[in-house]
Structure 1
Amino acid sequence: MKQGKWLPRLAAGTLVTAALLGVALAAGQQGTQNDPLVSLSYLNQKATPSILEQVNAKVTEQSQTLTNQFNDLIKSYTGQMEDKLNAAAGGDAQSAAFSVVDVAAGQKLTAGIGCEIMLRVGSAVCFTDTPPGFIDMTGGGTLENGQALVKNHLYMATIAGRGFTAQDAVKVMVRGEYTVS
């Protein structure tokens, strides 16, 4: 009977020993030079900075590309707008911009249709045959015959033959067609 108990114990011991050797062998092969274990310090010191550096390089490259494309679009649209303004102003780029005009006391400035006027220095009074004289684009109202222009208000002539008479020497900014008499 002693032999019958000894054989199963030997088999069980051999089986446990083989299992322990297999686990030890498997654990011994992890973290070799060729296949290292990934540790938190490796991620913090090596992997993450490398990944962030690559991402930053790509973001910078893409940002520069988009900035260049955006600047090209701005130049293109600016050119198109300048062409349209020149065409609307009869091809004269200066007509699309304000110009400073000096009007002596007693002189009249007669505005063409769509002419814009801004009184900067002095005083002037609107003249017109029929209302409205000027459209006050700043105040949102109209200026009638005999009313004074307000400094730094932008006025527009919507009908030909409207203008102002300078009470004293004035400086106005004008955009559009006009005559001084």
Structure 2
Amino acid sequence: MASIARCLRAARPSTLSRLAQVPRTRYNWQPATLRAFSASPIRDIRKYTKDHEWIDLNAEKTAGVIGISEYAAEELGDVVYVELPEEGKEVSAGDTIGAVESVKSAADINAPIACKVTSVNLGLEEKPGTINQVPEDDSHGGGWIVKVQVGEQGVKDFDALMTLEEYKAFTGSEEH
């Protein structure tokens, strides 16, 4: 969804300028009455771990997306390799689901909750640096790691994770 909103925001100024050049009709239509598209009422719920992973759950809390935080991506430096888990792998909270290697160091990626891996971001194998550019983007070209299916235990685990505000306080940063 994030990429759709970005595209619309990028296209909006040129669209409005084209519409402003259209001669007024007898209905006195005003281009200024256009409103921007917004898909914000239903938002995935994002939480963070102390190991700097994030997870977005859908509104039903049945599926989610996992990645590493912007803070972790900055601390790692330029990511040069990403190890991804196998699809279908079932994990408990805290289990290793992959790893990232950078020019500075290497780190495991841990499952923030109990879940089953349903999809992996194969784009990271070819372009691991995507994690540095957009670590918290769960769109097609983003730096997310895996998509998961969540059960009852996963929802319980999710409730114990940190909100964005708690995570910012934990890292001591204004931005995550």
Normalised TM-score (structure 2): 0.22
Name whichever structure is richer in helix by fraction: 1
Please identify the structure whose Cα radius of gyration is greater: 1
Normalised TM-score (structure 1): 0.22
